[in-house]
Chains A and B, each alone.
Chain A
Amino acid sequence: MADKLTRIGQTVLLLFAILGLRLTQLQVVRGERYARLSDRNRIRRILLPAPRGRIFDRNGILIADSRPSFTVTVIPTELPDSALPVLAGLLAIQPDDLKRQLEPVARVPGPVPLRRDVDLTTVARIEENNFRLPGVLIRVDPVRNYPKGWRYCHVVGHLGEISEEELKADSSYRRLDYVGRAGIEARYEKRLRGRDGYQYAEVDARGRAIGPLPEKRPEPAVPGCDLHLTLDDRLQNLASRLVAGYERAAVVGMEIRTGAILCLVSQPGFDPNIFISPIDAATWDAIVSNPSKPFYNRAVTSTYPPGSTLKPIVALAALRQRLVSPRTTLDPCVGKVRYGNRDFKCWSVHGRVNLLEAIAQSCNVYFYQLGLRLGLDSLTAYCRSVGLGARTGIDLPAEGEGNIPDRRWLDVRYGKGKWTSGVVLNFAIGQGEITVTPLQLCLAYAAIAGDGVCGHPHIVARIDSAGRTVPRSAYPVRELKLDQNDLKQVRLAMTRVVEHGTGRAARLGEITIAGKTGTAQNPPRPDHAWFVGYAPADAPEVVFAVIVENAGHGGTVAAPIVAKLVRAWSAARAGIDTSEPASESLFGQPATESLSSSRSRQP
């Protein structure tokens, strides 16, 4: 019996002896080394920053990558107060500001980034003075670089320094980290970011690593995913240049079948690179105080009255209700129509026209009458059914919603019974409170051009992680139940718009464009110029929507822009045809086939 108790005692003794041996090993055998490590804690966790994922256009042209930059970091517990003025002087800031900056991190044991993207001169001066600056270290970090500058500033977006609130919300970020602030950079922040790694090192008295720590294996950084966009750099470039001369404008181009966005431009823009280096106050003020709000992505965020670009949709609504046939003529246009005690004007005197000609010539009087026959409810319901007044769900943040003012909305806005049925006249020509985003309009036209079927609009085509494509569910297809015959008639009308109507400026020799002009009133300022067009007219593949704010007539200002974009699109398609016959096509299907099929297919 007592034997077993002795055994228990012996077991305890054995376990304690193991502890004693281990203590001896740590404190005697390795004691000197650990004493050295603990002296000013010369063991350090070194951050291995994950490079942010790169962004490419559909042809592999680089849009965003990372470049090395110098970061000044400080180990607050090792920086003596006496070194503060020296450091502040070298960084060209006030010592008090520096002190304030260091206060919240005073007890952090590791190196804390103090200033990012420091120029080489400053780095050299800090290195020269490093004997006076214990605890100050220079680190090389990857930072964002946009080689294309302004061209993608809205769609790809830009980065910004993380805010205190965001830091609190997500502890995996650190002070001075950059996060996506707009566009793809914000929407795909999690994918692009990657995961920082750590390396453990023994450092000398000046904080320089003298060797890895054998006790702890490094955790390598995981680079962010690379994004391959649907955008075509050639079209993006051209679109940016075409609207560069205007104060405010937006362009969206989309492949009908896939929903791939080919170009998305908003004017004015800014250089996204300026947010990486410490930004100077003058540049910042210039951007923020610009009344045109350069940060605004007008193509997806801004909402405008669609103007006459709404007419094909109103026509479809009327055709569906069998209120008119394509050849029906209504009361002749004498330049205006009287409703209630108000004159509703047309931009010209069109005489007696049928529905097709009313679209081609953009006759307001015809559409006033059509609006009255349709009534407010049918009109708004149809607009909604083609996706107007609702977010499209594109993979971009801050998408605008627009407004399709129905009975309920008008009751709230003006009070029950305080508005007249006359509003429907204005809505029928796309004026008044009815507003849409350029992207919504582009998508509605894609549905019309694509026999009611078009792809879900998207910017990111593929996400690659470490060279391998990340599998993800395919984008859904948008399918609207539209009458094929009605669509054919309205498309015929839109072909006539370009052939001999208001959109003649969009005429191209080699490829037929169809579309609709729009001139949205914007009192008291000049009108907005719209043109939404698709091509080829007989077998549509792409849609472009262009709005130029306060520029006047859609037919004269916006239509030529679309024509040039379609020509560039066609050239790009043909170009790939000859240069890379065997490779994967740019536009989803083998280019040769698509060309021939577009010629042979009859509408």
Chain B
Amino acid sequence: MNRRFELGLPVLSFLLTGIGLLAVYSAGGSVHLIRQLLFLPVAVACATVAFLTPRRLLYGIAEWLYAFSLLLLILVLFVGTGPGSNRWFAFGPLLFQPSELAKLATAILLAKVLSIRRDVTLSFRDLAVPVAIALAPALLIMAEPDLSTASVFAVLLSAMLYWRGLRPLYLLLLFMPVISFAAGFSLITWIPFFVLLAIIVFVRLRVLRALSALAVSLIFGLLSPVVLSMLKEYQRERIRSFFAPWFDPHGLSWNAIQSQIAIGSGRILGKGLFHGTQKRLGFLPNRHTDFIFSVIGEETGLVGSLILLGLFAALVHRILRIGRFCRDQFGTLLCIGFATIIAYQVFTNVGMLLGILPITGISLPFVSYGGSSLVLNFTLVGLTLNVAVRPE
């Protein structure tokens, strides 16, 4: 199994990209198709570089890469563009999203830091550094503001910490303050969360610890109404839709319904490639980017959608398998990080279009239109292949 070039990975990546190109053409027309095609060679080149780079070198420059990505994230806050946010650097018609680079750099640095730690527990000594590494880019991206992309870092950190021995219960406790704060904007979300938390901690922890955990949760939960009351009405609306998009009664849910109608109307076999009607009438917003899966669901039906999900599952599975057979912790952690990034993005993107998750701004890896994302995903694959052939 080892020392073998995993042919499956590039094949899957190209398959997914091909499907993406067809869907982008169907949704956005030839202009977007050509732009996306132009990015493909760049993406493949980056993948090749990533594949050929000695892992020791990567290990050595991890901090520098991370620092560079943070710098870009700070810079983009001042000179960035984007609809209602500062997400992109614009070079003429080309847009570069520094948060994509940050995902990669953070995954690499976390892998490096955690590869020398074993049996991580819920302690300041074990967690301070990894949490800080994930938190810095997450906070900068939240400031753009782009909460959904920031959440990728939380999941990435969780998966890696879990791998290094942190129990799921402690993971929950680690993220509890944030969840409590976000849920606290409405009693409807906060009460179930608090009850659930109470049950879990009392079953699994000693009474004193359980009580202190609940106390912390209560404090953070009470914090959000206090923060809300200090703000003006329009600011409140923004905060609410920022932390709790499912709370927004107007606006976004209309898009969610249109997306569900598009997907649902595709039925089992779909309306046929390029024959979707929802997208033609302009009911679907951002059809070629975040809503691309709606077009696929409408035009290729259940069969096409499941095939696409299957391809993603296979990709994630292969990456994880490479991680399993890698002998060094750095490589394994890299694979876990990459698999998590891809799986989480697929789940949140498709989930929101299916109406089971709030509408956020996460794109579908390989498939959505967008150069930075394509380059990043190919680089991830290149690095994974690197791990596969050189299990140092």
Contact = CB atoms under 8 A, between A and B. Distances in A.
Given A5-B320, A8-B162, A219 B263 contact: no
Give the interface residue-count category, chain A.
35 or more
Interface string A195-211: 00000100000000000
A28 B254 contact: no
A18 interface: yes
A37 interface: yes
Contact of B354 (A13, A19, A31): A19
A219 B250 contact: yes
Interface string B310-332: 00110011001001100000000
B34 interface: no
A174 interface: no
A30 B336 CA distance: 37
B267 interface: yes
A216 B257 contact: yes
Contact of A32 (B267, B297, B302, B356): B267
B129 interface: no
B255 to A, nearest CB: 11
- Say what secondary structure dominates the interface of chain A: helix
A41 B278 contact: yes
B60 interface: no
A440 to B, nearest CB: 37
Given A5-B336, A23-B263, A31-B267, A12 B324 contact: no
Nearest to B316: A12
A215 interface: yes
Interface in A506-558: none
Contact of B257 (A2, A30, A215): A215
Contacts of B277: 38-39, 41
Give the residue among A8, A28, A219 with the most B Cβ atoms within 10 A: A8
A2 to B, nearest CB: 6
Given A2-B324, A38-B277, A109-B283, A27 B313 contact: no
**Is the contact region of chain B dominated by helix, strand, or loop, or is it mixed?**
helix
Interface stretch (B89-97, B169-177, B343-351, B384-392): B343-351
A32 B340 CA distance: 35
A467 interface: no
Nearest to A107: B282
B264 A27 contact: yes
Contacts of A27: 263-264, 266-268, 297, 301-302, 305
A217 B248 CA distance: 12
Nearest to A33: B264
A517 B301 CA distance: 87
Given A8-B159, A23-B354, 16 more contacts: A8-B162, A8-B163, A8-B336, A12-B313, A16-B309, A18-B351, A19-B350, A20-B306, A22-B354, A22-B356, A23-B309, A24-B302, A26-B260, A26-B263, A30-B264, A38-B264
9 contacts: A5-B163, A8-B163, A16-B309, A16-B312, A22-B356, A31-B265, A34-B263, A37-B265, A216-B257
Interface of B: 159, 162-163, 249-250, 253-254, 257, 260-268, 277-278, 281-283, 297-298, 301-302, 305-306, 309, 312-313, 316-317, 320, 323-324, 336, 339-340, 343, 346-347, 350-351, 354-356
